[in-house]
Structure 1
């Protein structure tokens, strides 16, 4: 009898985890679509996953998968790109998006899901605006190029580091004619 109850609890827990992960993913997809429509001032678009060779991927600061780097197109015209990433706060990861224009200049950075009770200031529009206009040839320095945030030091440093890795990755992909 006890074994049956444990099996039921395990099954219910697994189902709840699956349902929660799908709803979080769909919320993220909705937020991404909204941000792309705002940045490019469009009603509809298509996205195309960017695939690269495993040999090149091994050399990149950030690994590219079928679910994290995309071309953004309107009809057949290239509008830009977006990257869906994760950065680490004090105790949990948070999800963010970086939208690039067709010239690989950052147009928008947004925190999509922040999972901690402290450090959420890293998601403020004012702080994130510092990344807009940055190019793939730059290396950002926290507290010099990017302002610190009191109460969100770990998240802000982590976000700056992830953006730097992304810029280096995009630069390598461009130089290898993958973008």
Structure 2
């Protein structure tokens, strides 16, 4: 019985590393595609607890990064979660150095229904958005039949992120 439990933990731990490597590879692919570069480094932001308390989304060393190429900041990306009907899904938002949304991509969708929220065509609506804008459902961002909960959740998270980035920029944190 102890061997079975030990094997279970080994499989769980190794699958976590595999998933993490897959997510990192997908993020790298998107960043290199957006900025048309082959290599970059990422640097996490260190936001004080005082500033973090004022943000709609808490920033930590695993969700918001500066993208550096040739010793210069070329943009930022956020790795977040939104809630669908029954489970969370992971997404990234890539900003250029002027803090304009360059790309939004759903990385992992875990439900049977609503996966259309990850379509390139639908996500393209976010591109070009400035952080000072609040996007409105059915005005700026179209709904998707059968994915209403995921759409609204994603829109809510992106709007909170836009406000967060605006605050960080105004406080000289970016």
- TM, length-normalised to structure 2: 0.97
Which has the higher Rg, Structure 1 or Structure 2? 1
1:49 equivalent among 40, 44, 49: 44
| Residue 38 (structure 1) aligns with | 33
1:33-63 residue CA offsets vs partner (Å, 9 max, x unmatched): 0000000000111111111101111111101
| Residue 150 (structure 2) aligns with | 155
Which consecutive residues of structure 2, in runs of 5 or more, have no partner in the other structure?
A: none
Displacement over 4 Å in runs of 4+? none
Query: 1:46 touches 1:75 (CA, 8 Å); kept in 2?
Result: no
Aligned length: 174
User: Equivalents in 2 of 1:36, 1:147: separation in Å?
Assistant: 25
User: Equivalents in 1 of 2:52, 2:7: separation in Å?
Assistant: 38
Q: Structure 2 matches for 1:12-161, cutoff 5 A?
A: 12-161=7-156
Query: 1:137 touches 1:167 (CA, 8 Å); kept in 2?
Result: yes
- TM, length-normalised to structure 1: 0.94
1:141-176 residue CA offsets vs partner (Å, 9 max, x unmatched): 112211000011111110000000000000000010
2:172 equivalent among 165, 174, 177: 177
User: Equivalents in 1 of 2:161, 2:9: separation in Å?
Assistant: 34
Shift of 1:110: 0.3
Shift of 1:12: 2.8
